[in-house]
Chains A and B, each alone.
Chain A
């Protein structure tokens, strides 16, 4: 079956660092995406990992371990505008656009 797990909610303080974890069990794997979604808006792309290791992009980093079925999104120097839902999505093998999403982690950044 297909299963993607991530925490439902997290709270962090402005300026701090937060790590959002994602574990997955899917039939086939062609990469893992992290998206940010503000309430009522479309998901926007943050990162894509297909090989093991860390990808860094500004304040955001994403890590993947394919053998463990595990990824995390690291957000540094948190800002109030980072309050949003963060979606982990796995690309099923052999296709594009066919993403399996987790339920999302709602992050609240407090002053």
Chain B
């Protein structure tokens, strides 16, 4: 089992550009959540996808958008990049939003985004 995989591992972008990050969930998981982790901080919830729809969203601007595909993989898109978007972006997968929590969320290794 490959676990949660994210790509790319590192990325450098220029202010104003757009970026797409990718996540493949752990086998058997159908729910993907994205988090932003700034240096020295805990992860902050961006949004969650289940059944190809955004189910919940944290306090992030519309520049942050996402998508989930029929195979449960997901993308995070960030438009009009700002310097403050530099962070580790983590993807977590789990099973069945709305149900009682029965399995821990598994995190991918993350994508380190640097905006210059």
Contacts and interface: CB of A to CB of B under 8 A. Distances in A.
Contact of B42 (A96, A98, A103): A103
Interface string B86-112: 000010111111111100111111101
Interface size class of chain B, counting residues whose CB lies under 8 Å from the partner chain = 20 to 34
Interface string A72-100: 00000000000000010101001111111
Contact of A102 (B42, B94, B108): B42
Contact of A101 (B44, B94, B110, B112): B44
B42 A89 contact: yes
Contacts of B77: none
Nearest to B45: A98
Contacts of B55: 95
A97 B41 contact: no
Nearest to B33: A97
Contacts, number: 78
A6 to B, nearest CB: 9
A43 B43 contact: yes
B56 interface: yes
A50 B100 CA distance: 11
B101 A31 contact: yes
A33 interface: yes
A42 B109 contact: yes
A89 to B, nearest CB: 7
B97 A41 contact: no
B24 interface: no
B73 interface: no
B31 interface: yes
A29 B9 CA distance: 33
Interface of A: 4, 30-31, 33, 35, 40-45, 48, 50, 87, 89, 91, 94-104
The 4 closest A-B pairs by CB, nearest first: A101-B42, A97-B33, A42-B107, A45-B104
